[in-house]
Amino acid sequence: MFGLMVSGILIFLYTNLPDNVVNAITATQPRIVQNLPDVWTWSNSSSGMYSVKDAYNWLLNPAPLNDHVNWKWIWQLNLPANIQFFVWQLIHESIPVRAVLQHRRVCNTDVCPRCAGASENIDHCLFSCPDAARVWNLTGLVFNRNSSQGADTFTWYKNMGKIHGSLFFIALWVIWCGRNEIVFNSHRENTHTSMGKIYSLLKSCEAAFMPPQSVAATPVNPRLVSWSPPMEGTVCLNADGSLIGATSSAGYGGLIRDHNGVFISGFYGAANVRSILFVELMAVLHGLHICWDSGFRRVTCYPDSLQSVNLIRDGVSAHHRAISPFKVCSVH
Ligand SMILES: [Zn+2]
């Protein structure tokens, strides 16, 4: 009876409490002493009186209510402090999505501002809203958020970080920023723009947080390089593709310049494939499409993959797994 009464009150709190905390509170059996006035007591000292020293000791040795004592892993992530804080806030289920704001009486609706098709709780906002789902799809990360419903949010996010690394948290951050762009600037970001931001941030983080010894261990052989302009009337296409570690997340891009080196056009994209050769070919293919559609018929193409150049030039078996982009590249 007491538990039911308390759980009825807890839902009106300003902050949504995690299920394990609500369960611990409702399971508490109060000791009722008849004929005495109610008084405040501090259960973590023998005297029942509150002192700062007792509170400090309590914080150092949290009770089971706060059994995730080690939040340090968040502050040790190779991410900028604003994203670390976002992750901390997210695991505390307090990022200001509409459902949280409505619960706090800050706004009067919880309808998702992006799809208008569901309540914008944290899971919807960052995972199941169609805008968010499209981004996850392109990252190539595979996980089942639904399986964690009701489970331990702290552990789930921590494990995701272990499995997928910074990419997972950066994707969450970019999805959140994209959501805010709609809410505050009425601007819906293209999914490919979001992917560009994700990979750009990932690269920046890798560069910024790479251990100094790795930098020192990298052999540096300086050499002079220069760009050879194509013949007049010919455009130059530089194309490149890359894979992110062992995941199936890949990206490609390139640029097109005239014979004076003046920028004409650029492109980039993401692909959910595991083959670096395939991504390199996608870069070439995409660049050639743009050249063709722009009316350029004389194109000098510089992919950075010797293998793809050789295979395009010399031809491949009709059974090659990347035969379709080869065919188109060869025709061009
Ligand atoms: Zn939505």
Question: What's the CATH code of the domain at 276?
Answer: 3.30.420.10
Which of 171-184 are b and which e, b meaning 16 or more Cβ less than 10 Å from the residue's Cβ? bbbbbbebbeeeee
Pick from 151, 177, 211: which residue ends a domain?
A: 211
Same domain, 97 and 172: yes
Query: What contacts 323, CB < 8 A, 6 or more positions away?
Result: 316, 317
Residues 140 and 240 in one domain: no
CA 91 – ligand 1 centroid, Å? 20
pLDDT computed for residue 85 by the predictor: 96
Q: How far is the centre of ligand 1, averaged over its atoms, from the C-alpha of 112 (Å)? A: 5
CB-CB contact of 155 with 190 (8 Å): no
147 lies in a domain?
yes
Centre of ligand 1 to C-alpha 135, Å, is 13
* Three-class DSSP category at 226: coil
End residue of a domain, out of 23, 38, 66: 66
Residue 245, token pair as written in the block: 């570690």
Looking at the structure, do residues 287 and 162 belong to the same domain, yes or no?
no
Asked whether residue 271 falls in the same domain as residue 182, the answer is no
Taking the C-alpha atoms of residue 136 and residue 123, their distance in angstroms, rounded to an integer, is 13
In this structure, the answer to whether residues 127 and 60 fall within a common structural domain is: no
Q: Note the pLDDT of residue 24.
A: 78
The one-digit pLDDT tens for each residue of the chain (332 residues) are: 555 666 677 777 777 777 777 777 787 777 777 777 777 777 777 677 888 888 888 777 765 555 555 788 899 899 999 999 999 999 888 899 999 999 888 889 999 999 999 999 999 999 999 999 999 988 888 887 765 455 578 888 988 898 898 999 999 999 999 999 999 999 998 898 899 899 989 988 888 887 665 555 555 666 666 667 778 888 888 888 887 665 667 788 888 888 888 888 888 888 777 677 777 888 888 888 888 888 888 888 887 777 777 777 776 655 555 555 555 544 44
**Is residue 229 included in any domain, yes or no?**
no
15 CA to middle of ligand 1, Å? 22
Task: Tell me whether strands 299-303 and 263-272 are parallel, antiparallel or unpaired.
Answer: unpaired
Ligand 1: distance of its center to the CA of 113 in Å?
7
In this structure, the answer to whether residues 198 and 262 fall within a common structural domain is no
Cβ(279)–Cβ(140) below 8 Å: no
User: What DSSP designation does 126 have?
Assistant: I
**Co-location of 243 and 196 in the same domain:** no
DSSP string, 58-73: HHHS--GGG-----HH
How many Cα atoms within 13 Å fall on the side-chain side of residue 97? 28
Q: How far is the CA of 177 from the centre of ligand 1 (A)?
A: 14
Q: Are residues 121 and 150 in the same domain?
A: yes
Distance 197 CA to ligand 1 centre (A): 21
Write down the residue that tokens 């392109």 correspond to.
Answer: 138
The reply to whether 113 falls in a domain is yes
If asked whether residues 134 and 159 sit together in one domain, one would say yes
Please check whether residue 216 lies inside any domain of the structure: no
Ligand 1 centroid distance, CA of 10 (Å) = 27
Q: How far apart are the C-alpha atoms of 143 and 58, rounded to whole Å?
A: 37
pLDDT confidence of residue 330:
47
Range(s) of the domain holding residue 187: 72-211
Q: What is the pLDDT of residue 332?
A: 44
Let me know if residue 196 belongs to a domain.
yes
Q: What pLDDT digit, counting tens, does each position of 170-186 carry?
A: 999 999 999 999 999 99
Q: Would you say how long the chain is, in residues?
A: 332
Does residue 276 sit within a domain?
Answer: yes
133 CA distance to ligand 1 middle (Å)? 10
Domain membership flag for residue 143 = yes
pLDDT at 265: 86
78 and 124 in a common domain: yes
In a shared domain, residues 81 and 54: no
Same domain, 285 and 325: yes
pLDDT in the model for residue 331: 44
**Structural domains of the chain, count:** 3
| Amino acid found at 185 | N
Using the 3D structure, point to which of 11, 39, 66 is the last residue of a domain: 66
